[in-house]
Amino acid sequence: MNSVIGEGRTDKEALDKALEKLGAKLDQVKVEVLEETRGAFFGLFGGRKVRVRVTKQGDAAEKLEEVLGGILKRLGIGARVGVRAEKGDYHIEVVTMEADGLLIGKHGETLHAVEHLLNRILHRDRSEEGRVRVDIGGYRERRDDQLRAKAVSMARKVKESGRELSTDPLYSPDRRVIHLALTGDPSVRTYTVGDGLYKSVVVAPSAGRGEVRSGVGGGRPRGGRPVERRRAR
């Protein structure tokens, strides 16, 4: 049993009941408030009721480690796998002696495929909503730094030229890095175009009056005419 629901008159009572039922401690679970109601008339009648769902994170972490360890073993790759649960997400660190390049693949394609598989497994029973991120030999950190630098460079060119630029097709976590890197820059906006697993991020001049500025992963803003798109170099 990975997830249970507890009910009580207070948050603490509902949480304590759920933890007791699950046999877990607070730092081992993810807590979701499902319902919080008061009496029918300004809380005077019927009392307060709180319902919470607690999900044991350790079970998912162990499952992910087991699955990835099994994949690596079948490939004949000796590796150390560590899984860290943080705010509902799972960060997996893989350390190998010589197989980093093989597991990462060209432009991270093998790493993305492994990550996609683990996310599918995590969400299979719909009890988990977090994301899995896999890093091999520090590749993810280096890649994120490169993407942030790329985003800043593209934004500078867009502001200088007034014309939008697009990235090569990127995997979802990479697109997110681009979006987040520019979310605080009022001079540009970003949106995603394309179909399938890999899509491009467009960096464009900020929306004018009457247009809607896109957020992280947002679609094409309404209003105005899109300017000519160029591929970033």
Return per-residue pLDDT of the chain as tens, 233 residues: 578 899 998 989 999 998 888 888 887 777 888 877 665 444 455 567 899 988 776 678 888 898 999 989 888 888 899 998 887 788 999 998 888 898 999 888 899 999 999 999 888 755 567 889 999 988 988 999 999 999 999 999 999 999 999 999 999 889 999 999 999 999 999 999 999 889 999 999 996 533 333 444 444 433 322 334 445 54
Distance CA 74, CA 97 (A): 16
pLDDT score, position 190: 97
pLDDT score, position 184: 93
Distance CA 178, CA 208 (A): 21
Helix axes 57-74, 109-122, angle to 10 degrees: 140
> Per-residue pLDDT tens for 16-54?
998 888 888 887 777 888 877 665 444 455 567 899 988
Q: DSSP label at 232?
A: -
Using alpha carbons, list the distances in angstroms from residue 119 to 131, 132, 137, 166, 170.
Answer: 6, 6, 20, 27, 17
Q: Are strands 230-231 and 3-8 parallel, antiparallel or unpaired?
A: unpaired
pLDDT score, position 38: 60
204 and 164 Cβ atoms separated by less than 8 Å? yes
Q: Which of 62, 49, 65, 58 is nearest to 17 (CA)?
A: 49
203 and 165 Cβ atoms separated by less than 8 Å? yes
> Per-residue pLDDT tens for 68-91?
999 898 888 888 999 988 877 889
What stretch of H or E contains 22? helix 11-22
pLDDT score, position 223: 30
Q: Domain locations in the chain? A: 3-55, 58-138, 142-231
53 and 14 Cβ atoms separated by less than 8 Å? no
**What fold characterizes domain 142-231?**
Ribosomal Protein S8; Chain: A, domain 1 (3.30.1370)
Strand ranges (E), the chain: 3-8, 29-37, 49-56, 79-86, 89-96, 132-136, 165-166, 188-193, 200-205, 230-231
Q: Which two tokens stand for residue 179?
A: 């979006």
Provide CATH code, domain 58-138.
3.30.300.20
Look at the pTM and tell me if it is higher than 0.85: no
pLDDT score, position 47: 61
CB atoms within 10 A of CB 204: 23
- Residues facing 93 on adjacent strands: 82, 135
